[in-house]
Amino acid sequence: MTKHIVIDARTRPSSTGRYIDRVLEYLQSIDNTNKYTVLLRPSDNWKSKNRNFKSLVCKYKQFSFNPIDQISFARFLYKLNADLIHFGMTPQEPVFYFKKRITTLHDLTMLRFARPGNLPKILHFVRMLGYRMLLKSSVRMAKAVIVPTEFVKEDVVKYVPTNGRKVFVTYEASEPPISQTEELVDGVSAPFILYVGSAFPHKNLNSLVSALEKMRQNNPEISLVLAGKKEQYYKKLESWTVKNPAVKNKVIFTGFVDDAELKWLYHNAEAYIFPSLSEGFGLPGLEAMVHGCPVVSSNATCLPEVYGDAAHYFDPTNIEDMAQKISEVISDKKLRDSLIQKGYKQAAKYSWQKTAQQTLDVYKKVLEKD
């Protein structure tokens, strides 16, 4: 029997929206039975490829704690008369929506490493109280919770005591290797190690810079390339780095790089370093793997689960260990080559089509229940 499924994809255009974007893309190729309504931001120009999928502009704010917004959004959803709503990121869902719904919870990093940004401390405290309340409500009221790893599943069940049988793991996946012709990145020369991504505090980049300082005692030519949009945390890190004469001119902040430049960085780096203290899945390491860049990774949270034996691990709280493990990879060609080959195999285990199929299976299980 055909069902009406609504997918809240308002995060799709953002950096965290790749998950819901890829699930949508592959659902269209595997489900020709159910009818879908995809909720989008007013500025999103997403177009469906399957006539069973239609888009609908949703003007409501994401993650609003305002009771008026909560009630208005719930009324909007009730009018859709959906058999099931999938919220692509917790806690998008309004507290006052009580029909069948499932939610995707990517991780609990926000609870451990909350970022106040420019908010005063008291307002940040109040915001986090609201966030915790909405998150717990989302998990308790959902008929199913989708998470990206077994680590996150265990984490969620501990944080919000709930039946683990309603929490489903659907692994995510890397994109295919970049097809564009690679382009040299200005100001970068070999040898260098690489990090790509944001500079949020839990990414632990200060420790990576400190590890570089230790590495340069035996390898003075090595530099560190940090590729990512220069937002406030990168600016703080850059200011701190400039004041350290031991690494001055050896930490290169590229800012945003396009795909052609990113491909060059992956192909020319001695290793990709992922020093994070907390992740829900760890896509950056897989993306390095598909480009043949050996990965040296933190052993925190879910990362060993996702990378398996295709990464060389260190304790992210131990700068000596970090420096040593990176040095081992860049100095040992046999180890480096082994990681490259294992990386190709590890990344190939994951696919977005599989993610979409598992997501559809969750839909079916929930819809089958009264």
pLDDT for the residue 130: 77
* C-alpha–C-alpha distance, residues 262 and 165, integer Å: 40
Q: What average pLDDT does the segment 44-60 reach? A: 96
Q: Is the model's pLDDT at 68 over the cut of 90?
A: no
Q: Is the model's pLDDT at 33 over the cut of 90?
A: yes
131 vs 330: which has the higher pLDDT: 330
Q: Is the model's pLDDT at 192 over the cut of 70?
A: yes
Residue percentage of the chain with pLDDT more than 70: 98
283 vs 369: which has the higher pLDDT: 283
pLDDT for the residue 261: 98
* C-alpha–C-alpha distance, residues 370 and 364, integer Å: 12
Answer yes or no: same fold for 4-173+351-365 and 192-347: yes
Q: Is the model's pLDDT at 118 over the cut of 70?
A: no
Mean of the per-residue pLDDT values of the chain:
94
Are the beta carbons of 13 and 43 closer than 8 angstroms?
yes
pLDDT digits (tens, 9 = 90+) for 303-331: 999 999 999 999 999 999 999 999 999 99
Q: Is the model's pLDDT at 116 over the cut of 70?
A: no
Q: Is the model's pLDDT at 112 over the cut of 90?
A: no
Q: For 4-173+351-365, CATH number?
A: 3.40.50.2000
Cα–Cα distance list, 18 to 9, 21, 145, 174, 257 (Å): 10, 5, 18, 10, 18
288 vs 162: which has the higher pLDDT: 288
pLDDT for the residue 131: 79
Q: Does domain 192-347 have CATH number 2.40.340.10?
A: no
pLDDT for the residue 236: 93
pLDDT for the residue 191: 97
Q: Is the model's pLDDT at 271 over the cut of 70?
A: yes
pLDDT for the residue 370: 62
Closest CA to 356 of 15, 22, 59: 22
Domain ranges of the chain: 4-173+351-365, 192-347
Q: Is the model's pLDDT at 115 over the cut of 70?
A: no
Closest CA to 31 of 84, 99, 107, 89: 84
pLDDT for the residue 124: 65
DSSP labels for 312-338? EEE-TT-HHHHHHHHHHHHH-HHHHHH
pLDDT for the residue 24: 97
Largest Cα separation within the chain, whole Å, is 68
Are the beta carbons of 307 and 297 closer than 8 angstroms?
yes
Residue 170 three-state SS: coil
* C-alpha–C-alpha distance, residues 141 and 158, integer Å: 16
Helices (H) and strands (E) in the chain, counts: 13, 13
